[in-house]
């Protein structure tokens, strides 16, 4: 096994991306769609490739871009020289969705939503119960990965899904205040025009160590708000970044416009990493019949080595079963 590059620079000094930015700078950033979108298309028998998480070259053992995403087969890792052209990809773990990565002094921890086997998952579309929790694998070199292990399980009523199901998803861990904060989605709400469900709440758990012993907050930190036009149906997922003057949240809310559901990527602001307020929309659905026409979903914001910001995201063209999901990127210089 090759030895991992030491965790240095921004990763060690700042713990999380973006600490060199103020919220005002992020708020004023103008994100433009990359001309080659989508940069990663669904492949194999899967109708989706979704929920990207990206490591920039200064944060990887071999100095190349790495993108993690899931298909119906599991979580894959993709490789690139420039962060735009990604290769075929290699599956890391099955029964897995919605990955994110935390760097530690020992290497990397890949968190993900552990789901039912594919057939049982398919039965949820005809009344079966969805069951998922937060699991992880470890790696020193992003080539070899450990056996999966559980991180966060079901024990709260708001994590329930259906009659006997439950859902914990969209894990995102940051170092903060001398410990670790795990943001995750919980519960499911059925979206009628899609025929499937999306995460209802966003929750928070904290631990003194990165891989275990997370203690959950007493209640969700984000919940659907009928008065908020951009997340009146589901809270979706939340990625949190500590800035020079507070915290930024990047959230994709699910909302209803008449009988049509949509999703957009929004920027939220927080003083403490717990209480968030809406600031503005970063990326909205195009409504033009194209690849991001109806839903702009989970995203990951990174700072490229040249200082520019890249917002990687997945999008869906339509709500029904014929919809497909690809991954694209928006750039702010």
The answer to whether residue 61 scores a pLDDT higher than 60 is: yes
User: Where are the chain's structural domains?
Assistant: 10-332
- Look at the domain 10-332 and name its fold: Tachylectin-2; Chain A (2.115.10)
Q: What is the pLDDT of residues 120-157, one digit of tens each?
A: 666 565 567 889 999 999 999 999 999 999 999 999 99
Q: What is the pLDDT of residues 162-173, one digit of tens each?
A: 888 999 999 999
The CA-to-CA distance between both ends of the chain, in Å, stands at: 37
Q: Coil, strand, or helix at residue 307? A: coil
Residues 6+ apart with CB under 8 A from 250: 238, 239, 240, 241, 265, 266, 267, 268, 282, 299, 300, 301, 311
Residues 6+ apart with CB under 8 A from 228: 253, 255, 278
Q: What is the pLDDT of residues 252-299, one digit of tens each?
A: 999 999 999 999 999 999 999 999 999 999 999 999 999 999 999 999
**Cα–Cα–Cα angle for 214, 77, 35, rounded to 5 degrees:** 115
293 within 8 A of 317, measured Cβ to Cβ:
yes
Q: H helices then E strands: how many in the chain?
A: 3, 21
Query: Region 172-191: what's the mean pLDDT?
Result: 95
DSSP 174-197: EEETTEEEEEEEEEEEEETTTTEE
Q: What is the pTM of this model?
A: 0.94
Q: Phi first, then psi: give them for residue 165, nearest 5 degrees.
A: -95, 175
Q: What is the pLDDT of residues 202-256, one digit of tens each?
A: 999 999 999 999 999 999 999 999 999 999 999 999 999 999 999 999 999 999 9
């Amino acid at each position: 096994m090759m030895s991992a590059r030491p965790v240095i620079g921004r990763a060690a000094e700042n713990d999380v991306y973006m600490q060199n930015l103020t919220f005002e700078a992020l708020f004023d950033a103008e994100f433009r769609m990359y001309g080659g979108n989508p940069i990663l298309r669904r492949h194999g028998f899967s109708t989706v490739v979704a929920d990207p998480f990206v490591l920039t070259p200064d944060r990887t053992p071999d100095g190349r871009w790495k993108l993690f995403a899931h298909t119906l087969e599991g979580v894959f890792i993709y490789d690139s020289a420039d962060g735009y052209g990604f290769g075929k990809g290699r599956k890391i773990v099955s029964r897995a969705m919605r990955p994110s990565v935390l760097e530690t002094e020992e290497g990397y921890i890949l968190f993900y939503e552990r789901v039912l086997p594919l057939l049982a998952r398919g039965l949820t579309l005809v009344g079966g119960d969805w069951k998922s929790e937060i699991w992880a694998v470890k790696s020193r070199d992003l080539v070899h990965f450990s056996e999966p292990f559980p991180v966060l399980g079901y024990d709260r009523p708001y994590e329930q899904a259906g009659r006997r199901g439950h859902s914990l998803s969209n894990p995102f861990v940051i170092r903060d205040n001398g410990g670790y904060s795990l943001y995750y989605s919980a519960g499911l709400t059925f979206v009628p025009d899609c025929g499937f469900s999306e995460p209802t709440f966003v929750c928070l758990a904290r631990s003194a160590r990165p891989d275990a012993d997370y203690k959950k907050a007493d209640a969700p930190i984000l919940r659907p708000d009928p008065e908020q036009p951009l997340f009146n149906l589901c809270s979706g997922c939340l990625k949190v970044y500590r800035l020079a003057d507070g915290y930024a949240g990047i959230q994709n809310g699910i909302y209803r416009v008449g009988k049509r559901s949509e999703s957009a990527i929004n920027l939220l602001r927080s003083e403490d990493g717990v209480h968030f307020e809406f600031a503005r929309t970063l990326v909205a659905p195009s409504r033009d019949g194209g690849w991001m026409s109806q839903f702009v979903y989970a995203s990951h914001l990174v700072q490229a080595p040249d200082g520019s910001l890249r917002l990687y995201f997945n999008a869906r063209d339509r709500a029904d079963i014929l919809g497909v999901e690809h991954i694209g990127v928006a750039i702010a210089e």
